[in-house]
Amino acid sequence: MRVANNDSFTISRTDLRKALVSMGMEEKSILLLFNLLNKAHRHINAIGFVTTLERMGMNREKSVRVLRRMGMDDVIIANVFRMVDESKIDAEIGKIYNASVDFA
């Protein structure tokens, strides 16, 4: 793993696999994640990465440990989870508004 710059974190496929296995992720989920990353040209923003991990059943404590292994500090991690929560709230609000507003 290396920090490419202040906003970018790079981890090898092998190191990411080790981190995910150590957190109890099943091989099937790891392969699905790697397929998603390959489709995105091996680049994903931290919010999307954490959201994907959560959808695959990984709890926040384990996600935090994976992000730490990637070299993120606790301030960045806290900001990532804050933005994940905000995006969930925004999505729910959008669903409510989309369901209740009809222009004919």
CA gap 60, 97 in Å, rounded? 29
CA gap 16, 66 in Å, rounded? 8
Structure tokens of 8? 């970018």
Interior CA angle at 66 toward 61 and 70, to 5°? 140
pLDDT digits (tens, 9 = 90+) for 72-97: 889 989 999 999 988 877 666 655 44
At 43, the amino acid letter reads H
- State yes or no: pLDDT of 10 exceeds 60: yes
Question: Do residues 48 and 37 lie in contact, with contact meaning Cβ atoms separated by under 8 Å?
Answer: no
- State yes or no: pLDDT of 2 exceeds 60: no
Note the pLDDT of residue 12.
84
Q: What is the mean pLDDT of residues 7-32?
A: 88
Note the pLDDT of residue 5.
45
pLDDT digits (tens, 9 = 90+) for 20-67: 999 999 999 999 989 988 887 777 788 888 998 999 999 999 999 999
Note the pLDDT of residue 7.
67
Interior CA angle at 12 toward 25 and 47, to 5°? 65
Question: Do residues 37 and 44 lie in contact, with contact meaning Cβ atoms separated by under 8 Å?
Answer: yes
